[in-house]
Amino acid sequence: LSDLSFKYLFPKEYAELCKHVECNAKHYVSTIDVAKEKLQKMLHADKWLKGRMRSVSVTGRTKSIYSTWKKMQRHECGIERINDLVALRVVLLRESDGSVAAE
């Protein structure tokens, strides 16, 4: 909803950011996929985690258009200064009770 609102309230800024994101989308997806695969392998191979965690989940995301713009406004910078356009989230479920151990 925030991206849709942003599109109509700030059409020029929205179009500029969309152009940047579209130009870099393949790179973003590739970066997430490679990092996610490497991290999953490392976590599944970790002997300490194997005996303590029931499951390990790694997901990736790209920052939304509106969230990116809002951060650019807050820091008074261009998109090239935004370091979290892509991110990974790791969720570990403990073996003992199934509660989330860390995120």
Q: Parse the chain into domains and list their residue ranges.
A: 2-102
Q: What is the pLDDT of residue 58?
A: 95
Q: Does residue 14 have a pLDDT over 90?
A: yes
Distance set, CA 71 to CA 6, 29, 42, 87 (Å): 13, 21, 32, 15
Stretch among 14-18, 47-51, 54-58, 95-99 having the lowest mean pLDDT? 95-99
Question: pTM for this one?
Answer: 0.70
The string of pLDDT tens digits covering residues 41-91 is 999 999 998 888 888 899 999 899 999 999 999 999 999 899 989 999 999
